[in-house]
Structure 1
Amino acid sequence: MTTLIQQPLWQALLDHQKIIAPQHMRDWFLRDHDRFDRFSIAADGIFLDYSRNRIDEKTLELLCQLADAVQLPAKIAALFSGKPINITENRPALHTALRDGKATSLLVNDENIIPAIKRAQTQAEEFVAKIHTKSWKGATGKPIKSIVNIGIGGSHLGPMMATHALSPYAVTDLQFEFVSTVDKANLDDALKRIDPETTLFIISSKSFNTIETLTNANTIVAWMKGKVGTAALAHHFVAVTAAPKKAVAFGIPAANCFPLWEWVGGRYSIWSAIGLPLRLMIGNQQFADFLAGAHEMDLHFKHADFKQNIPVLLALLSIWYNNFFAANAHAIAPYSHRLRHLVDYLQQAEMESNGKRNDLSGNLLPYTTSPIIFGEEGCNGQHAYHQLLHQGPHLVPVDFILIGNEFPDVHHDILIASGLSQAQALMHGKTYDEAYAELIAANPADDKAKQIAPHRVIPGNRPSNVLFLDRLSPKNLGALLALYEHKIFVQGAIWNINSFDQWGVELGKQLLPAILNELQLTKATTQLDCATEGLIRRYKASQRKA
Structure 2
Amino acid sequence: MPADWTAIEQLPATKLTDLFAADAGRLDSFSLDIAGLHFDWSKTHLTKDAVAAFEALAKAQDLAGKREALFAGKVINTTEGRSVTHVAERGEGAEEDVAKAQALHARMRALIDAIDGEALGAIAHILHVGIGGSALGPDLLVDALGRESGRYDVAIVSNVDGAALEEVFAKFDPTATLLVVASKTFTTKETMLNAESVLQWMAEGGVEDVYGRVVALTADPDKAIEWGVDETRILPFADSVGGRYSLWSSIGFPAALALGWDDFADLLEGAAEMDRHFKQTALGQNAPALAAFADLYYAQVRHCETRATFAYDERLRLLPSYLQQLEMESNGKGVTIDGEPLTRPSAPITWGGVGTDAQHAVFQLLHQGTHLVPVEFVAVIEPGDTLSEDHHRQLLLNAFAQGAALMAGRDNADKARAYSGNRPSSTILLDTLDARTLGALIAFYEHRTFVSGVLLGINSFDQFGVELGKEMAKAADAGGQEFDVSTADLIKRAFG
TM over 0.5: yes
Q: Equivalent of 2:428, from 463, 467, 475?
A: 467
Are 1:368 and 2:345 an aligned pair? yes
Name the CA distance, whole Å, in 2 between partners of 1:24 and 1:299.
34
**Aligned equivalent of 2:445:** 484
Q: What amino acid sits opposite 1:472 in the alignment? A: L
Measured after TM superposition, the shift of residue 260 of structure 1 is: 1.6
Q: 1:166 aligns with which of 139, 145, 148?
A: 145
- Using the TM superposition, give the Cα deviation of residue 224 of structure 1 relative to its aligned residue in structure 2, in angstroms: 1.5
User: Structure 1 residues 421-430 or 51-60, which shifts more?
Assistant: 51-60
What do residues 359-387 of structure 1 show as CA deviations (whole Å, max 9, x unaligned)? 01111111011000000012111111111
1:149 aligned to 128, 136, 144, which one? 128
What is the letter of the counterpart of residue 246 of structure 1?
K
Q: Could you say what secondary structure the match of 1:497 adopts? A: coil
Please state whether the residue corresponding to 1:27 is helix, strand or coil. Answer: helix
Query: Are the aligned partners of 2:183 and 2:217 in contact in 1 as well (CA < 8 Å)?
Result: yes
* Percent of pairs with identical residues: 38
What are the ranges of 5 or more consecutive residues in structure 2 without an aligned counterpart?
none
1:410 to 386, 390, 398: 390
Q: Pairwise CA RMSD of aligned residues?
A: 1.6
5+ residue gaps, structure 1: 107-111, 437-452, 519-524, 542-546
In structure 2, the residue matched to 1:114 is 98
- Asked whether 1:513 is paired with 2:493, we answer no
Match of 1:125 among 104, 109, 112: 109
AA in 1 matched with 2:485: C
2:9 to 14, 17, 29: 14
Q: How much does 1:132 deviate?
A: 2.7
- Give distance in 1, aligned partners of 2:231 and 2:239: 19
Q: Could you say what secondary structure the match of 1:113 adopts?
A: helix
**Equivalent in the alignment of 2:319:** 342
- Return the alpha-carbon distance in structure 1 between the equivalents of residues 410 and 320 of structure 2: 29
Aligned to 1:49: 40
What's 2:82 paired with? 91
Inter-partner Cα distance in structure 1 for 2:10 and 2:209: 70
2:490 aligned with 1:529: no
TM-score (norm 1): 0.88
In structure 2, what is the Cα distance between the partners aligned to 1:389 and 1:463? 10
Alignment of 1:15-34 (within 5 A): 15-16=10-11, 19=12, 21=13, 23-34=14-25
Alignment-mate amino acid for residue 87 of structure 1: T
Match of 2:53 among 62, 66, 69: 62
Describe the shift of the 1:526–1:35 C-alpha distance in structure 2 as closer, same or farther (beyond 3 A). Answer: closer
Shift of 1:34: 3.0
- C-alpha deviation, 1:230, in angstroms: 3.9
**AA of the residue aligned to 2:404:** Q
Secondary structure of 1:52 counterpart: coil
Task: Give the TM-score normalised by structure 2.
Answer: 0.96
State how far apart, in whole Å, the 2-side matches of 1:147 and 1:229 are: 15
Deviation for aligned residue 1:229: 4.2
Deviation track 1:396-446 (CA, whole Å, cap 9, x = no partner) reads: 111111101168811000000000011001111112xxx24xxxxxxxxxx
Cross-structure match for 2:188: 210
Name the amino acid aligned to 2:337: L
Aligned partners of 2:366, 2:223: CA distance in 1, in Å?
A: 48
Deviation at 1:168, TM superposition (A): 5.3
- 2:405 touches 2:421 (CA, 8 Å); kept in 1? yes
SS in structure 2 opposite 1:367? coil
Change in CA separation of 1:325 and 1:526 when aligned onto 2, cut-off 3 Å:
closer
Q: Which one has a bigger Cα radius of gyration?
A: 1
Q: Give the deviation of 1:388 after TM superposition.
A: 1.1
SS in 2 for 1:61: helix
Question: Deviation string for 1:454-476 (max 9, x for gaps)?
Answer: 11111111111111110011000
After superposition, give the CA deviation of every residue in 1:525-544 in whole Å (9 maximum; x if it has no partner): 64321111111111124xxx
Q: Is the partner of 1:228 in helix, strand or coil?
A: coil
2:158 equivalent to 1:180: yes
In the TM superposition, what is the alpha-carbon distance from 1:297 to its structure 2 partner?
Answer: 0.3
> Corresponding residue for 1:301?
278
Indicate the SS of the match to 1:366: coil
Aligned partners of 2:151, 2:207: CA distance in 1, in Å?
26
Task: Please tell me whether the aligned partners of residues 178 and 190 of structure 1 are also in contact (alpha carbons under 8 angstroms).
Answer: no
CA offsets 1:335-381 (integer angstroms, 9 cap, x no match): 01000001110000000000001001111111011000000012111
Q: Quote the Cα distance in structure 2 between the aligned partners of 1:31 and 1:502.
A: 44
Find the aligned partners of 2:58 and 2:355 in 1 and give their Cα distance.
Answer: 32
Deviation at 1:31, TM superposition (A): 4.6
Query: Residue type matched to 2:317 in 1?
Result: R
Deviates more, 1:24-33 or 1:397-406: 24-33
